[in-house]
Amino acid sequence: MRRALYSTAAVILTGSLFVAAPADAGNRHQSKAKPVNTSKLTKAVTVNNQLKTLRQLQVIANRNDGNRASGLPGYDASADYVASQLKKAGYKVKRQTFTFAFSRDLAPAELQQVTPTARDIETAAFDYSGSGDVTGTITPIGLVIPPGEAGSTASGCEVADFPPAGAQPSVALMQRGFCNFGVKAANAEAAGYDAAIIFNEGQDGRQELLTGTLGEPVGIPVVGTSYADGVALAEQDGATVRVFASTEVDLNRETSNVIADLPGKTKNSDQVVVVGAHLDSVAEGPGINDNGSGTAAVLEIAKQYTKTKLAKKAQRPVRFAFWGAEEKGLLGAEHYVANLTDAQRAKIYANLNFDMIGSPNFARFVYDGDGSDGDAGPAGSAEIEKVFTDYFAGRRLATAPTAFDGRSDYGPFIAAGIPAGGLFSGAEGIKTPEEATLFGGTAGVAYDVCYHQACDDITNINTRALDQLGDAAAHSVGVLALSKQGLYGDQRRAKASAKKLAAAAARGNGHALTH
């Protein structure tokens, strides 16, 4: 999963414990619909079988320098494995190949203060950083200490912000804020600086070590650090630092999506449900939680969907997708959506996304389709959210919304107006005491302390999270595939209305239709 910001302000509660929010008046007719029984599918999707997939992904990473990153052999082996499993389950499998701008660290980045006092500083290179080993004088660029509102700091956002770099090596010290990291880095390079440091902005949630992507390559080394370390550097006039980064950048690296459909037709063939998870890891580790957990759940749902013969009862087709290059910016999902024809795009009924569902210190986060905790998704997203919250409420399990901000593979779908939803068990964010009470686990600790690290391996999975969220994922697929009524519940009402109108016309009351 890409580094994301999310909120857990609202928790879904019931009269006795937990309940979903009531439907609005316009959807009251939905309550008359017969519930879809998904128990056959949820029982068939077991933790044990998901763990078999996760162990295989770990083996693949072990054989390929410890990772499964897009553009590297471990990803290709992962895609081969998933494709073979889907073919055995009866799916027609397509490999959708695309090129992307690849980058990775060839060696860990280093940041040291040389003068006036020597010390090592925790750091990481940004994606698409240039390589270099630069020792130079720090120049603060438009810093705001203490900071104002989150995202307001304009440090480095204009080339005019930078004083002349001078003849000796110079290092620009910038602060996270108003513009993206790539703009800051490109401006520093254009102004003649030999390296750049970008530190976190300083508000709550913006103080830890800063990592991220520049979006496109620059020619100078660019590293991140924490707010505290950035402030410490800024407060020392004329401090000298050493910035080191060793990176590989390839603007035309090849990778692929794995897309699986069942042969044959369903009743509503123009209502395709796309169920997705990103298959790639970061280059730093095997990615067993991020996103082996989502991959394992989606693959197992696909296999059991045919094995239980529920696919024969489907009201609409289900397409299972495993996205490449998510960690480089949702690139696989973006490529898929961008290359749909207008007719193909119009046939996509909904997107379900599962990105990290086995976090060790997990929470049950549901994407906020109705906008109760932020921006709402396209029409239909609220109904998808309710599928999940109703499911958990029926099992007396708390949920909380997570920001529907497009920072996982559902993003390109909602940008195209396609309703979406899904589950998330937490990444680098810190679990609050309130969340520990609701979900269990440990307050004050990250949901996944191994997020984007080498330790995100087979030991980094909470099987209870995989059980609960995996079953909810299976339930959602079953509901969207098997429901005769669908998300909106308007088919029966439309038929009834047509009959009433016809009867009124036959009685000579057609004038009523003019108002």
- One-letter amino acid at 174 equals M
Residue 326 bears catalytic tag: yes
- One-letter amino acid at 9 equals A
The contacts of residue 386 (CB under 8 Å, 6+ apart) are: 20, 21, 23, 369, 370
Task: Write the DSSP assignment of 284-326 as a string of letters.
Answer: TS--IIIIIIHHHHHHHHHHHHHHTTGGGG-SS-EEEEEESSG
Dihedral sign from CA coordinates of 320, 324, 330, 332: negative
User: Half-sphere exposure of 113 toward its Cβ, with a 13 Å CA cutoff?
Assistant: 21
Q: What is the rounded CA–CA span in Å between residue 221 and residue 171?
A: 10
Q: What is the rounded CA–CA span in Å between residue 74 and residue 508?
A: 72
Helix segments in 209-291, DSSP class H: 227-234
Residues in the chain, total: 515
Active-site option among 326, 334, 383, 385:
326
Helix segments in 21-72, DSSP class H: 39-44, 47-62
Instruction: At 140, list the tokens.
Output: 């603060």
Residue from 99, 106, 101, 165 nearest 138 by CA: 165
The answer to whether residues 418 and 378 touch, using CB atoms and an 8 Å cutoff, is yes
Please identify which residue in the block is written with the tokens 């401006």. 187
User: Half-sphere exposure of 414 toward its Cβ, with a 13 Å CA cutoff?
Assistant: 27
Q: How far apart are the first and last CA of the chain?
A: 52
Please identify which residue in the block is written with the tokens 């008359």. 32
- Provide the CA 153 distance to its chain's centre, in angstroms: 26
- Residues marked active site are found at 326
